[in-house]
Every structure is written in structure tokens, then in C-alpha cells.
Structure 1
Amino acid sequence: MRFCAALIFIFKPSFAYQKEKSNTELFYDLMQGYDKNIRPFYLRKPVKVTIDIFMNSFGSIKADDMSYAVNLNLRLRWNDPRLDFSKLIRDKRESIPIDASLLDRLWMPDLIFTNEKSSRFHNVTTENKLMRLSKNGDVYTSTRISVVMSSMMRLENFPMDSQTLYMQLECFTMPETDIRLSWSAKDPFQFNPELTLPDFDFDKNKITLTKCDKSYETGTYSCIEAKFPLRRLLGYYMIGIYIPTGLAVVLSYLWLRKIFSFLYFFKKKFFIKFFEIFHEIF
């Protein structure tokens, strides 16, 4: 009996400590000896980063400077074995949420939109970033971003043209020997079901997702690309531009015709009267 009591006394504090450990405490335990400047699997194999995007909205598509604006959630997934906490807990937690303020403590893929013109993060009402750590070291992040991107357009058939807009994501500093990007195998590009464009017909099922690896002097860098075709709606321009412009031209013609008729009549009467007065004087 005394032996059992002694065992309970020894192991009870350990079990209590494990149960009381919060997500934040667990995260700080993982950060002991963690170096965010060293990528996962360093000197072993490349980090595989899978990406999917949720498109919240399309902004303006401008033909004059060949750009378009989007609001999206950029979601990244990769594995970092240094963040495996399966041996640190005894409860049933499969993953833990991490506050966005702690994101800068982790190694992150240095991704860029290669055709970006301008961008911004969202901070209302709080920083729009999310991170979850899984028990096996999988990392999931989601960031809401607004981006203005450039995309070449062919406008010789305007307004009966079709355009293909593109978006490219590339690793900036690490070559493909260190990091490899790929689209997620399940639902890699998702759209807000209420997303519509007033002047374009957008078929969400015809989006093309490909690889676009690029070679520079410093090596080959992993790149992924999304292309989505758009067909310009002629009716939008007929109702918004051509019909109002045509009516304005017709009304202007009728108004000017009436004015010129009056001027012609006035001019004729003026010269007749002038010559009558001239004849009477001389």
C-alpha cells in the first residue's frame, strides 16, 4: 500500500503538469533551441510546401495599365519535425492554434507574387493571420492579402475579346534544392460562391494550375502559376457606353440641326434687309 502511494505521489505532479500545459506554454517549449533561420530538413532534403488559395473577391480589371486586383487567403502547409509535440503531451490534442503575433518566431517560406504591383495585409479588427501546429509537426498558415497584379492583355478585339489573367508564386531566396512549391492536391484554388464580375464572364472550372520553375544565375527556383480565362461581356459595354454615346450623338445632331436652321434663316433675312437699306440709301 505504501509503495502504491509513493508511486502516485511521484507521478501525479507530472500528469497534472502535462494536463495543465496550455497551447502557448507548449509552443514556448517547442521554441527552446529552435532557430527560425534554419529551414526544416536542412542538409537532408528540400522542404515541400503545398499551397492553396481562396479567392474572396475580384477588384477592378484595368485595360489601360493591364492590371487586376484580388483579395485572397493564401494558405501554406509544410512539415517541420522540430515542431513535433507528440511526445510532449498525453491528451488528445491533434493540433493547436498559435497566436498570429508568434508567427515571426517560426521559419516561413519566403514567397513572392512575381507579377505583383502592390499589396497589403489586413489588420481589422485584428491581424488577419492564422496558424495551426499539428501533432506530427505539420504547419498550416492562412493570411488574408489584397494584391494588385500585372497581366498582359491583347486588346485588338476589344470589346469582344477574351483575356487570360495569371498569378505566379515563387520562392525568392531558396532554390529548388532547398524548397519546392506545389499546388494542394485537394481544392487548390477555391472561390467565393458569390464572386461575380460586372463586365466579364468568368468560368471558375476552367482555371489552369501549373508549375513555372525559373532558372537564374544563382540556380533554379520553384514557381507555381494559376491562369484563369475571362470573356468580356459585350452587353455591359452596349448598355453602359455604346447606347448612351449613340443617343448623345443623335440628340446633339438634332439640336445642332435646329440651331443651324435658325442661323441660316437669320442670316438670309439679315442680308435681304441689309441690301434693301443699302439700295434705299444709294
Structure 2
Amino acid sequence: MFLRQTWIDERLRYSGFNRSITLNYNQFSRLWSPDLFIRNLKSGQFHDITVPNRLIRLSPDGTVLYSQRLSVTLACDMQLEKYPMDNQTCKIEFGSYGYTTDDIVLVWKALDDPVEINPEISLPEFVLMAVHPVTCATNYATTGSFPCLRTFIHLKRRLKFYILQIYLPSLLIVLLSWVSFWIDLDAVPARTSLGILTILTITTQSAGINIGLPAVSFTKAIDVWMATCLVFVFVAFLEYSVVNVLSRKHKKEKKNEEKFKRMTAQLATGIANIGGRRSKMLRAGPDEEAKEAQIRHRMKNGQTPLDPETRRQQSMEGSIWSRAQHNQALMVDVISRVIFPVLFTIFQAIYWPLYFL
């Protein structure tokens, strides 16, 4: 920046010709000058290439114009609750270090725009919205009241970079995690790998965002976004855990059902054979002892002495339960295909108006 100061020193008045004199920068040490300093300065430097960048101009009435080129790093108390959709107000505060308001008065030059902004200079991360200069004074209990000049700089953060580098990739990762809802239930490696990959990607991206930011105790807008994306991805991974448990139950029930059907078929064949022999026995005469012997034989082999109608009813009930288990696993995927996009859309409808507007 170019810092220009003007003051009147009556001791430097001259006559004889009516024009200003530009002095060599070495003459500055021979002049009186205000002890101006930047109160919120963190670091700074003068420019000395190829000579010290200073201008000293003396007018006939004793007015001294002193201009110098500086590069400064200033402290700015930023409010990052809406980061990266935030607007910041930083300040540059000049003050006198040793002279109080009884000795010196600092005022902005009487111009429409005492703080000039070079239109060719732009910031890569912010848009300069406005500059607001004010006059102030600072009171200290032990040393008195000191004059100061303050300039508020209103900045608006550029959002395009964050849209392309953070919001869009994380959105695609969340959408990618929903692909598992359409993958076959038996494709365990595919769905598990997809869930773990999306969780690790979101976690890595979230950690990389906060590397260049100060550690703050409040929650930023980008933290809310990344945390919500992580929750959606993690819940999508847990959804497959539920589906996998229901699917394994279905397989177990189906296996038991098939085993039960084989046993029922064997029992039906045995009953048919008994019925044929019984018909022959009835023609020869009723023989209850042979019937009881057949029943004892079935019980000895681990078969329950149920009639065919009871066996058929149990078989139908087992099949219905198996189909219910299978449909329940599929139903979880079907519901997830709808509920996840709906919930994420609701979150978007709340998030963007809350932080962007």
C-alpha cells in the first residue's frame, strides 16, 4: 500500500518562488514527522528497490507531503460461522504512539474518497465490496487519549472455488454411496468396499479442509456440510449391514424349508406305502398291531407321527415366512432408494438458505 501523510510545519515556509520542492529521501531524518504506526500490524516491510520508495514534497506554506510504499500483514478478527459463504470486515488502524490528542490530531484528508483502491488489484479469495474510513480516539487510564484513524474493509469470499473443490465432490461421494442400494444383496464384497471407500474419502476431505484454518470452538458452515455428508455415507453403509442380516436369515429359513420339504416327501411316500399295505390288510382283515408298528418305526427314525394335512399346512407356513424374510430385506433397499434422496434434499433446502442468504 501507499501511505501518504500531510502536515504543516511553519518552520519550513519559504518565499522567492511559488512552487513545491521535492526533497531527497535522505532528508527525511532531518524533518519532524508524526510518530504514526499501525496498531493491528503483524509484520511489514519497506521497499528499497532500487532506492527507498519514499516521496518528500515541501510546499511554500510549510506543508509537507510524505509518501511511502509498504507491504504489511494485518490482524483481522474474522467471523467464520458461515465459512465459506461469509462476508468479512477487516480494518487498518493508524495511531500516534507518543503524542496524545492534546499534541496532535489525526484526520482523513477532506476528499470524497480519502482511501483510494487500485481497480487493477484483485484478491484471489475475496471480492472487495467497500471501504469505510472513520476517525477515532483511544483512551488509556495511565497514558491518556491517543488519536487514531481507522479504515474498515468489507470483503466477500469467492464461492466458486469451494463449490468446485469441496461441495460438488462431496455431493458426488454421497450419491455414489447410494449406488449400493441397487447392487445385488449377495454381492457382499462390492457393497462393503463401496461403503468403506466413500467413508474414507469423506473423512479425508473433511480433514483437509481445516488444515489452513485456525482451530475454533464454534461450528462452521462447511463443518455442518461435511458432517452431514459423512452421516449419510455412514448410514448407507449401516443399511447394508441390516440388509445382510435379513438376507442371511432368509437363506437359513430357505435351507430349513428345503430340508423340511424333503422330510415331508419321504414321510408322504412312507404313508402311501403304509396305505397300500393297509388296503391289502383290510381285505385280509383289520390288523391294528401292524399300524402301530409302522407308527413306532417312524418315531424311531425321528419323524413326528403327523398326518399329511398337518405336514402340508406347516410347509405352507414355512414358505410364507421365508418369503416375508426375503421381501423384508429387499424392502429395506427399496425404501432407502427413496428416503435417502428425500432427506438429503430436505437438508439442502435448509442449508443453503440458512448460510448463503
TM-score range normalised by the length of the shorter chain: 0.5 to 0.7
Cross-structure match for 2:128? 202
How far apart are the structure 1 equivalents of 2:87 and 2:62? Answer: 45
Task: Report if the CA contact (8 A) 1:208-1:226 is conserved.
Answer: yes
**Greater per-residue helix proportion:** 2
Deviation of 1:102 (Å): 1.2
How far apart are the structure 1 equivalents of 2:50 and 2:188? Answer: 61
Matched, 1:211 2:135: yes
Q: Do the aligned partners of residues 250 and 175 (structure 1) sit closer, same or farther apart at CA in structure 2, a change above 3 Å counting?
A: same
Deviations 1:25-55 (A, max 9, x none): xxxxxxxxxxxxxxxxxxxxxxxxxxxxxxx
Deviation of 1:173 (Å): 0.3
Q: 2:9 aligns with which of 80, 101, 125?
A: 80
Q: How does 1:1-282 map to 2 (within 5 A)?
A: 72-86=1-15, 89=16, 91=17, 93-186=18-111, 187-203=113-129, 206-216=130-140, 217-244=142-169, 246=171, 260-261=189-190
3-state SS of 2:161 partner: helix
3-state SS of 1:222 partner: strand
Task: Report if the CA contact (8 A) 1:201-1:233 is conserved.
Answer: yes
Deviation of 1:228 (Å): 1.5
**Backbone CA RMSD of aligned residues:** 2.6
- TM-score normalised per structure 1: 0.60
How far apart are the structure 1 equivalents of 2:192 and 2:154? Answer: 55
Percent sequence identity is 37
Q: Do the aligned partners of residues 81 and 248 (structure 1) sit closer, same or farther apart at CA in structure 2, a change above 3 Å counting?
A: same
How far apart are the structure 2 equivalents of 1:124 and 1:259? Answer: 67
3-state SS of 1:104 partner: helix
3-state SS of 1:190 partner: coil
Deviation of 1:208 (Å): 1.4
Deviation of 1:215 (Å): 0.8
Unpaired runs of at least 5, structure 2: 194-357
Deviation of 1:136 (Å): 0.9
Deviation of 1:232 (Å): 1.7
Q: How many residues align?
A: 186
Deviation of 1:124 (Å): 0.8
Letter in 1 for 2:59: S
3-state SS of 1:142 partner: strand
Task: Report if the CA contact (8 A) 1:176-1:222 is conserved.
Answer: yes
Unpaired runs of at least 5, structure 1: 1-71, 265-282
Deviation of 1:218 (Å): 1.3
Deviation of 1:242 (Å): 2.8
Q: Do the aligned partners of residues 251 and 102 (structure 1) sit closer, same or farther apart at CA in structure 2, a change above 3 Å counting?
A: farther
- TM-score normalised per structure 2: 0.48
